[in-house]
A and B are shown apart, each in its own frame.
Chain A
C-alpha cells in the first residue's frame, strides 16, 4: 500500500513538475511581452507628448473641439491626457498579448476577441473625434451665418446643428461597436421623423403667419439697407 501511495505521489509530483515546466516558459514569455509593451508604452507617451507640444496641441485642442481631453489630465492639458490614453492602451494590449502566451483557453479567446474588436473600436473612436470637430465647425458656421442674417434664434439653430451631428456621430460609433443596432435604428427613425414632422406642423399650422411676417421683414430690411449703401 505504501508503495502504491508512493507511486501515485511520484506520478502526481511528476505531472505537477511537468505542468509547471510547461507553464513556466509561458510565464516568462508573458513577463517579457508585458515588459516590452511597457517600454513601448513609456516611449510612445514621451514621443506623443513631445510631438503634440511641438504642434501646440494644448492651445489648438479647444479650436478642434477637443478641450474635454484636458479634464482627463490632472494638469488640465489635453496633450498629457492623450499621451496617458495611449500609454494605457499599449499596456492593456501588452497584457492581452501576454495572456495568449500562457496558452490558457479562456484568456486566449478573450484576448483574440478583443484584438478582433480593435479595428471597430478604433473606427468608432475616429468617428467620435471627427464628429466632434465637425459638429463644432458646423455649429459655428450656422451661428455666424444666422447672426449675419439677423436671425434672433441663431444660438438655437447652432445648438440644434451641433447636437444633430454629435448624435449622428454617436450613433455611427455605436453601430461600429455593434451595440444595440436594432434599437438604435428604431430610435433614430422615431426621433428624426418626429422632429421633422413637429417642425413641419409647427411651421405649416401654428407659426405660419409668424414665419411669413419674419421672412417679409427680413427681405424688406435687407432690401432697404443694401439698395442705399455701397459698402465697398
Chain B
C-alpha cells in the first residue's frame, strides 16, 4: 500500500508515478463496504481497464474506524496502487470530493471515477464510468442504473424532468453519487468560487452535473448495473429525503437562473455500456396507502399549499382527493406546474423552506400512486413512455416557470382559509 491515512498528514500523491485514471472513494464512515469496493476497483483496473495505469484513492474521514485495516486485508501485499488520504477538517462529502479532485490533478490522471463509499459496486461500474474519460471524448459521465421504473420515483418525477427542462439534457441521474469527471472538468470546478457549502451532502452531486452541463462540457451516460441501497438511502424518513433532494434542486435553480432561462428544448446524451435485457421485478407497493397519504395531505395541508399554489391548482387537487382509485390520475401538466410553483415558493420563501419542502410529501405520494396505477400492468417500455410524457410536460410548462420567476408579484396565490 502506498500510504494510509492512519499515520500522516504528509501523504501526497507521488507526482513521478503518474496515472491514467483514478478510482476515487470519498468514504463517509462506512468501513464495512470499503474492502469490497477496493476489490472491485482493483479488478476493474487490472482486467476491464487493462493497459491503463490506474490508482485507487480513498478519502477517509476516520482513519481510526478500521478502514485502513480493512483495505489492507482486501489488497494484501500487492497494494502499490492504493492511497488512503485523511479527510481534512470536519468531514463532509463536498470536502472529501474536493480532496479527491485535488489528489487526482496531482497524480496527473486524465480523469476520476468517483464511487460512493456506502454501496457495493461491480468492476463493470468503474470501467464504464472511467472509459469515456480516458478515451478523451467526454468530461462528465453520469451513471444509468439498471432498475425498475418504479424505483427512484423521486428522481424520475421531480429531479430528472426539472433538470431536463431547465438545463436541456436528458440525464437519468443528475444527482448520482457515482460519476466520472475528466481532468479538464476537475480543473474547472476546483477554480469555481461557488463550491457548495459543507452542510449540504446531496447538493454537491447535482452541483457537479449542472456545472458540467452549464459550462459546456461534454456529458454522457454509462450503463451500470443495479444499485443496491446504501445506508444513506435509508438514513432518513421520506419527507427528510424530499427536503434534502428537492431542496438541493431548487437551490441549484436559484443559483443558475440566468443560465436556465436561456435554455430551450432538451437533447438526449450519448450512452455507453451494454444493458441487460432481463425483465426487472417491480417493487411491491400498495397504491391505496399512497392514495390515503395524498387524501390526508389534502385534508390537512391544503391551507399550507394555498400559500404556495394558485387557486386553480388547489381546485384540481380537491377533485383528485375526491376521485376513486380507478380514476385517480395526476395530469402531467398539473404536476409540472405544481413543482414549478413549489420552486418559486422556495425562492420567494413564502413559508419556511423546510415546511414548504416537507409539505410536498403527500403530493409526491399522490403522483407516485397515480404512476403506479397507470404502470402496474404495463410493459416497461410503456412506463418509460409515460415518464417521457411527464418530462415533455415539464418542458412545455417551462415558460410558466420563467414568467413566474421573473414577475412573481403577478402570480401570488390568493390566501384563503
The interface of chain A, by Cβ under 8 A from chain B, is: 59, 62-63, 137, 140-141, 143-148, 150, 152, 154-155, 221, 224-226, 228-232
Contacts and interface: CB of A to CB of B under 8 A. Distances in A.
Given A143-B300, A143-B304, A150-B292, A229 B153 contact: yes
B197 interface: no
A69 B355 CA distance: 24
Contact of A154 (B284, B289, B296): B296
A216 to B, nearest CB: 15
B233 A62 contact: no
B412 A148 contact: no
A229 B149 CA distance: 11
Contacts of A230: 147, 151-152, 229, 233, 283
A229 B150 contact: yes
Nearest to A56: B409
Interface of B: 147, 150-155, 229, 233-234, 237-239, 241-242, 245, 283-286, 289, 292-293, 296-297, 300-301, 304, 307, 350-352, 355, 358-359, 361-362, 412, 415
23 contacts: A63-B307, A63-B350, A137-B352, A140-B351, A143-B300, A144-B239, A145-B358, A146-B300, A147-B362, A148-B358, A148-B361, A152-B296, A224-B289, A225-B285, A225-B286, A225-B289, A226-B238, A228-B283, A228-B285, A229-B153, A230-B152, A232-B152, A232-B245
A147 B296 contact: yes
Contact of B289 (A141, A143, A221, A232): A221
Nearest to A231: B154
Contact of B284 (A62, A148, A228): A228
A154 B238 contact: no
Contacts of A146: 300
- A-B pairs, top 3 by smallest CB distance, nearest first, are A231-B154, A148-B239, A228-B283
Contacts of B233: 230, 232
B381 to A, nearest CB: 21
A148 to B, nearest CB: 4
Contacts of B283: 228-230
A147 B305 CA distance: 13
Helix, strand, loop or mixed for chain A's interface? helix
Nearest to B293: A150
A148 B351 contact: no
Contact of B300 (A141, A147, A229): A147
A147 B155 CA distance: 22
A231 B243 CA distance: 13
B351 A63 contact: yes
Contacts of B234: 226
B7 to A, nearest CB: 37
Given A144-B355, A229-B151, A231-B152, 12 more contacts: A62-B307, A143-B304, A147-B301, A148-B239, A150-B296, A154-B296, A224-B289, A225-B286, A228-B283, A230-B147, A230-B233, A231-B242
B187 to A, nearest CB: 30
Contact of A62 (B151, B301, B415): B415
B309 to A, nearest CB: 15
A151 to B, nearest CB: 9
Given A148-B239, A228-B284, A228-B285, A140 B355 contact: yes
A137 B245 CA distance: 23
A232 to B, nearest CB: 6
Contact of A231 (B241, B300, B350): B241
A150 B352 CA distance: 21
A133 to B, nearest CB: 11
A229 B233 CA distance: 11
Q: Which of A143, A147, A228 has the most CB of B within 10 A?
A: A147
A61 B237 CA distance: 32
Given A137-B352, A140-B355, A148 B304 contact: no
Nearest to B290: A225
A147 B297 contact: yes
Given A224-B286, A231-B154, A232-B155, A148 B362 contact: yes
B396 to A, nearest CB: 25
Contacts of A229: 150-151, 153, 283, 285
Nearest to A63: B351
A143 B302 CA distance: 11
Contact of A59 (B241, B292, B412): B412
